[in-house]
Amino acid sequence: MIIDLTGRTAFVSGSTQGIGRVIAARLAAAGAETTINGRDDDRVRAVVDELRAQSPDARIDGIAADVSRPEGAQAVFEALPDVDVLVNNLGIFSAQPVLEIDDDTWRRFWEVNVMSGVRLTRHYLPGMRDRGWGRVQFMASDSAVVIPEEMVHYGVTKTALLGVSRGFAKAMAGTGVTVNAVIAGPTRTRGVENFVRSLVGDELPWEQAQDEFMKHHRPNSLLRRLIEPEEIANMVVYLSSDHASATTGGALRADGGYVDSILP
């Protein structure tokens, strides 16, 4: 299958590292004029330069803004009034006993993980609708369905994204615009590697540490390993294309079989 996004514009929130960075690189490689995003201007510029060096023919730019805040989102809208593909990737996670999570932490996770995507989608959907084509994706997680005991606040925000994406999809019915959620499974990023170490310790070699983490903390995984970011990005790029025109309002799994269900 050849995916050609030439002529499309894409914005990926929270994309200076991890899954978001790989998604942005893959969208650009498929031909989309892609804008990455992060809070730090120097970091954004550095990643843009790195991605351009890796793919000289790719059209990649960046906007430094904290889209978890209304003023940050507005800065993005002013710099990039319209896009064809929106990937709501920005998210934070941390391990914390649920009885110790205070109100401020709950609010912070909600603003970053949920409201950032709501604001961006609310702005960009009308233009997509008027043009008769658009793709919006919310990066959810297996934690949306299998709430992790050590990250209830994170899991709950990802559960919310499943409902949010379905609701926006209904609002776009019959317009040529699709809205979906991607349920990503446990994925190997620097943040996740640090998280694994916090649970299993720093003494073990990485492969053994990964095995211990999957065995004791993510035993449902059918892959029995962490997913690579590229494996998530492949799903995102497909959903961003014309090939996925009949897929909307869905929760698409790239979870390594982690969610123990025969339904998406």
Q: Can you tell me the distance from the alpha carbon of 260 to that of 177, in angstroms, rounded to the nearest whole number?
A: 30
The Cβ-side half-sphere exposure at 46, using a 13 Å CA radius, reads: 8
Phi, psi of 251 (to 5 degrees): -120, 95
Q: Go through the chain and tell me how many residues it has.
A: 264
Q: Can you tell me the distance from the alpha carbon of 246 to that of 170, in angstroms, rounded to the nearest whole number?
A: 14
Task: Select which of 124, 154, 238, 258 is catalytic.
Answer: 154
Is 154 designated active site? yes
The Cβ-side half-sphere exposure at 241, using a 13 Å CA radius, reads: 19
Q: Can you tell me the distance from the alpha carbon of 88 to that of 12, in angstroms, rounded to the nearest whole number?
A: 6
What are the Cα distances from residue 236, in Å, to 27, 37, 61, 88?
Answer: 8, 17, 19, 11
Decide: 234 and 168 in contact? Cβ < 8 Å: no
Q: What is the DSSP string of 63-113?
A: EE--TTSHHHHHHHHHH----SEEEE---------GGG--HHHHHHHHIII
Catalytic residues: 154
